A and B are shown apart, each in its own frame.
Chain A
Amino acid sequence: MRKQLEGSQAVAQAVARCRPEVVCAYPITPQTHIVEALSRLALSGELERCEVVNVESEFAAMSVAIGASATGARAYTATASQGLLFMAEVLFNASGLGLPIVMTCANRAVGSPINIWNDHSDSMAMRDCGWIQLYASDNQEAVDLHIQAFRIAEALSTPVMVCMDGFVLTHAFEPLDVPSQEQVDGFLPGYEPRQVLDPDDPMTIGAMVGPEAFTEVRYLAHAKQIEALDFIPQVAEEFRERFGRASGGLLDSYRSEGAETVVVALGSVLGTLAEVVDELRDQGVAVGAVALKAFRPFPLEELRGVLGGAQRVIVLERALAVGIGGIVSSDVRTALAGLSVEAHTVIAGLGGRAITRRSLHALLAQALAGQLPELHFLDLRTDVIERELERTRDGGRPGPHAESILRDLRIVASGPV
């Protein structure tokens, strides 16, 4: 039954219905509402047989999740931004050990400059940590992906990160259906660990592996993610059959059939993008959109299938790889190798800057006119950049850009002076 709920509350309820046995987390904006809600559910007894552990850092959160998972407990945590980076080395351990932990990343920019708002810098920085990464286009999908994530993680014995846009989704209220306990129980069986630390049956997990076998162990991790390319759509299909709605999968194509220009994106921008696609299609412009739902593993063949007929592909990215530009684009270009499809990278929505219909229309008009460069920054304020470069041109000790630009724009504490 649909109820008007905040994205974070709905995700917390969905996670609770997955019956986690250990929830360990350290609070960080904009993830906080999720773990606060889970703590309350555990306190009220609605979430039974679950230990909520207040840890002293994100490094500890993931370490506790590893310990819990290795002893056969279903473990969950959530983080964002700096928090995700603080658990970086432990993330590699969780995946390397093959422990099916599920984590929410409430996507937020990474400092410096410090910024609490949404973009994908955090999860993209951790794209190669060995976790499966799923991206939610809206809050209903965020709810559904968490339920699917435990299935995928435990079937393949590999951790899954569910990425949902901070604030844009976590703090948005909308009508959402959180599946009932019976529905979730019917979809998600109890956790049957592939490896357990048990005093009655002692074993070692986490051996040191030298050059003689390191490559083989790593290869198997890769092979497992490639296996996930088949398994993720199966889980999405079973979910659709049981719950009556489509959520998850590898990718979702929106009116891209016969489209000359296709925009590829991840996360909550897909909603606004779908509106723009509809408006342009009504005007007879052949545009479409593709939502990447799984970024790791990357669905090379499936993407090539939906993009191969296009003349132009625009990859809209909410993160910047300084020194090259796009992150997702590199993988999309790999998918397009050998095809005569023109590819563009557009960096958009960094640090909470809204991606608007107006900006997307302008972007597509520029692309259709053949004037979009290979790398473009959406809504970049070039006047600000020029003034700052001019100011620092004289040499000497010009000081930091961030403070100088805020002075130039007369902004204090994120508001006008």
Chain B
Amino acid sequence: MFSVRIHGRGGQGVVTAAELLAHAAFAVGLEAQAFPSFGSERMGAPVTAFCRTDDRPIRLREPIAEPDAVIVQDATLLHHVDVFGGLVADGYVLINSARDIGQLGLEELLERHQPSRIVTVPASEIARSHTGRPIPNAALLGALAALCGLVSLDGLGEAIEQRFGATAAAGNSAAARECFELVRSGRPLSETAHA
């Protein structure tokens, strides 16, 4: 089983991100379960969504307490919500930010986990450049695909297409692809156009 926990704020497509990820995992033949943890149902409030994948049917219904990967869609949550709580030692972290881990004050995270698996991506800027809106969810999933290989870019594209209208789907797929290539290239952020 592989468990992903996604943190963000109401209005950033956090629940949709988990849904897209589950769909993309299903597309490559995995069993997948996505579910949200709603708070007070208002724009801007912290929201958490979960996605589990496995090669056998998933029966577990508890929230993900020990994620294999954490996506932080909004870096303002970093010192507000325990976003890395329970992250497994060899887990993956993906943060939506134009700053690097050191600039975010998260060096401690690099000491406790494998540094190559801790990545920041300027997903809001990349999403804005492709869709006109700074909704980073699909872009971050592209980055996750490159980071841990859980889903394929094609599977993600299929998930995006079934979820959005044609225009939004094209923009989000392009944003996902740019983030995918950015992470796979391993280029430091300072060398990217969006840093």
A415 proximal to B (CB < 8 A): yes
- Nearest CB to that of A415 among chain B residues? B39
A274 proximal to B (CB < 8 A): yes
> Please, could you name 21 A-B residue pairs with CB atoms under 8 Å apart, sorted by A?
A6-B19, A167-B35, A171-B15, A171-B38, A172-B61, A173-B22, A173-B32, A173-B34, A173-B35, A174-B22, A175-B31, A271-B60, A271-B61, A272-B60, A272-B62, A275-B59, A358-B65, A414-B40, A415-B39, A415-B45, A415-B46
Interface residues of B in 4-58 (CB under 8 A from A): 15, 18-19, 22-23, 26, 31-36, 38-42, 45-46, 58
Known: A4-B23, A172-B33, A415-B40. A354 touches B63 (CB 8 A): yes
A167–B35 Cα distance when bound, in Å, is: 8
Q: B54 CB to closest chain A CB, in angstroms?
A: 11
Q: Hey, which bits of chain B sit against chain A, CB under 8 A?
A: 15, 18-19, 22-23, 26, 31-36, 38-42, 45-46, 58-63, 65, 80-81
A39–B136 Cα distance when bound, in Å, is: 31
A64–B69 Cα distance when bound, in Å, is: 49
Residues on B with C-beta less than 8 A from A4 are 22-23, 26, 32
Do A271 and B59 have beta carbons less than 8 Å apart? yes
A128–B36 Cα distance when bound, in Å, is: 33
Residues on B with C-beta less than 8 A from A416 are 80-81
A172–B34 Cα distance when bound, in Å, is: 6
Do A175 and B59 have beta carbons less than 8 Å apart? no
Do A413 and B40 have beta carbons less than 8 Å apart? yes
Known: A274-B59, A414-B39. A173 touches B23 (CB 8 A): yes
Q: Inter-chain contact count A-B, CB under 8 Å?
A: 75
Residues on B with C-beta less than 8 A from A413 are 39-40, 42, 45
Residues on A with C-beta less than 8 A from B33 are 172-174
A171–B38 Cα distance when bound, in Å, is: 10
A357–B66 Cα distance when bound, in Å, is: 12
- Nearest CB to that of B57 among chain A residues? A175
Q: Which of A29, A171, A413 has the most CB of B within 10 A?
A: A171
Residues on B with C-beta less than 8 A from A172 are 33-35, 61
A52 proximal to B (CB < 8 A): no
Additional A-B contact list (18), CB under 8 Å, known A171-B36, A272-B59, A356-B62: A4-B23, A138-B59, A167-B36, A168-B61, A171-B38, A173-B18, A173-B19, A173-B35, A174-B22, A174-B33, A175-B26, A271-B58, A355-B62, A357-B62, A413-B39, A415-B40, A416-B80, A416-B81
A320 proximal to B (CB < 8 A): no
Q: Hey, which bits of chain A sit against chain B, CB under 8 A?
A: 4, 6, 29, 116-117, 138, 167-168, 171-175, 268-269, 271-272, 274-275, 354-358, 413-416
Do A168 and B35 have beta carbons less than 8 Å apart? yes
A116–B40 Cα distance when bound, in Å, is: 9
A344–B47 Cα distance when bound, in Å, is: 36
Q: A173 CB to closest chain B CB, in angstroms?
A: 4
- Nearest CB to that of B46 among chain A residues? A415
Residues on A with C-beta less than 8 A from B34 are 172-174
The 4 tightest CB contacts between A and B, nearest first, are: A271-B59, A413-B40, A172-B35, A173-B34
Residues on A with C-beta less than 8 A from B31 are 174-175
Residues on B with C-beta less than 8 A from A414 are 39-40
Q: B26 CB to closest chain A CB, in angstroms?
A: 4
A84–B38 Cα distance when bound, in Å, is: 22
Residues on B with C-beta less than 8 A from A174 are 22, 31-34, 58
Q: B147 CB to closest chain A CB, in angstroms?
A: 22
- Nearest CB to that of A358 among chain B residues? B65
- Nearest CB to that of A174 among chain B residues? B33
Q: A169 CB to closest chain B CB, in angstroms?
A: 8
Q: A40 CB to closest chain B CB, in angstroms?
A: 15
Which of A29, A173, A268, A358 has a CB less than 8 Å from the CB of B61? A268
Q: B112 CB to closest chain A CB, in angstroms?
A: 22
Do B61 and A116 have beta carbons less than 8 Å apart? no
A173–B36 Cα distance when bound, in Å, is: 10
- Nearest CB to that of B23 among chain A residues? A4
- Nearest CB to that of A7 among chain B residues? B35
Known: A173-B19, A173-B23, A413-B45. A357 touches B60 (CB 8 A): yes
A272–B33 Cα distance when bound, in Å, is: 13
Residues on A with C-beta less than 8 A from B39 are 413-415
Q: Which of A29, A117, A268, A413 has the most CB of B within 10 A?
A: A413
Q: Which of B18, B36, B62 has the most CB of A within 10 A?
A: B62
Residues on A with C-beta less than 8 A from B23 are 4, 173
Q: A121 CB to closest chain B CB, in angstroms?
A: 18
Residues on B with C-beta less than 8 A from A269 are 61
A20–B185 Cα distance when bound, in Å, is: 54
Residues on B with C-beta less than 8 A from A171 are 15, 35-36, 38
- Nearest CB to that of B162 among chain A residues? A4
Do B60 and A116 have beta carbons less than 8 Å apart? no
Residues on A with C-beta less than 8 A from B60 are 271-272, 275, 357
Q: Which of A174, A268, A414 has the most CB of B within 10 A?
A: A174
Do B32 and A175 have beta carbons less than 8 Å apart? yes
- Nearest CB to that of B33 among chain A residues? A174
Q: B24 CB to closest chain A CB, in angstroms?
A: 9
Q: Which of B35, B41, B61, B65 has the most CB of A within 10 A?
A: B61
Residues on A with C-beta less than 8 A from B65 are 356, 358
- Nearest CB to that of A274 among chain B residues? B59
Q: B52 CB to closest chain A CB, in angstroms?
A: 9
A116–B42 Cα distance when bound, in Å, is: 13
Residues on B with C-beta less than 8 A from A357 are 60, 62
Residues on B with C-beta less than 8 A from A116 are 38, 41
Q: A116 CB to closest chain B CB, in angstroms?
A: 7
